[in-house]
Amino acid sequence: MARLTPENEILAREIIGRYPRPKSALIPLLHLAQEQDGYVTDDAMAHIAELVGVTSAEVLGTCSFYEMFKLHPCGRYVINVCTNIACMLCGGDELLHHAEETLGITAGATTPDGLFTIEAVECIAACTEAPALQVNYRYRYKVDNDAFDSLVDDLRAGRLNDEIPPHGTLARVRQHIPDDKRAFIVSPEEAAAAGEPAWMHAHETPSVEGGA
């Protein structure tokens, strides 16, 4: 559907530049694509394949391995309700059931207005605060039915726009590493030739001599 936009392509090239091998930038670029469209489109995967020099099948292989990359359109807000043991004991299943009733969809589906997707997930590492859920990976702790309803109201009304960006945006602060602060990029082959691990080389090392 959508390849990376020209602005995002520039960003993609910057991200690729951080790694000794373009292929290493695959996952950050998939996040970029998901940020752009809310999910990872086929065209974006094909575009990323071109940018990092692998086949589209390899990009799909990587992308489909990870739960956080969505290959189909999902809601603006993806709500992950934990149903793992601690949350289950504290009412996670009931919370999920309430969410399904409230939004009129089953877990895994998206509301017709495209706002909400509910997912039942395994442990999200908030057992002390059970039952817990995440909205676009932002936590809500000890959620009861009322808290869920007001959360949905707030999201609908846009009152949480500052806190919770649309699905796909991991962070609003983008990492920019100035050239002079960047660790010197040494490929594994060069490092092996120099007999030292790659991380030994700080940016002051101009180059690795005697490479193969």
Q: Which is nearer to other proteins, 15 or 59 (CB)?
A: 59
In the stretch 5-44, what mask flags binding to other proteins with x, by CB under 8 A?
A: -------------------------------------x--
Question: Least distance in Å: CB of 73 to other proteins?
Answer: 15
Spatial separation of the C-alpha atoms in residues 11 and 17, rounded to whole Å: 10
Q: How far is the CB of 92 from other proteins (least distance, A)?
A: 22
Long-range contacts of residues 171-174, Cβ cutoff 8 Å, at least 24 apart: 174/11
Any long-range contacts for 167-174 (C-beta under 8 Å, 24+ apart)? 167/34, 167/38, 167/39, 167/70, 167/74, 167/75, 167/76, 167/77, 167/78, 167/117, 167/136, 168/31, 168/34, 168/35, 168/36, 168/37, 168/38, 168/39, 169/35, 169/136, 170/31, 170/35, 170/137, 174/11
Determine the size of the site formed for other proteins (CB under 8 A): 14
Compare residues 42 and 196 and give the one whose CB is closer to other proteins: 42
Q: Which of residues 54-113 bind other proteins (CB under 8 A)?
A: 54-61, 64-66
Which residue lies nearer to other proteins by CB, 46 or 160?
46
Q: Provide the minimum distance between the beta carbon of 48 and other proteins in the complex, in angstroms, as a whole number.
A: 11
Compare residues 72 and 181 and give the one whose CB is closer to other proteins: 72
Residues making contact with other proteins (CB under 8 A): 42, 45-46, 54-61, 64-66
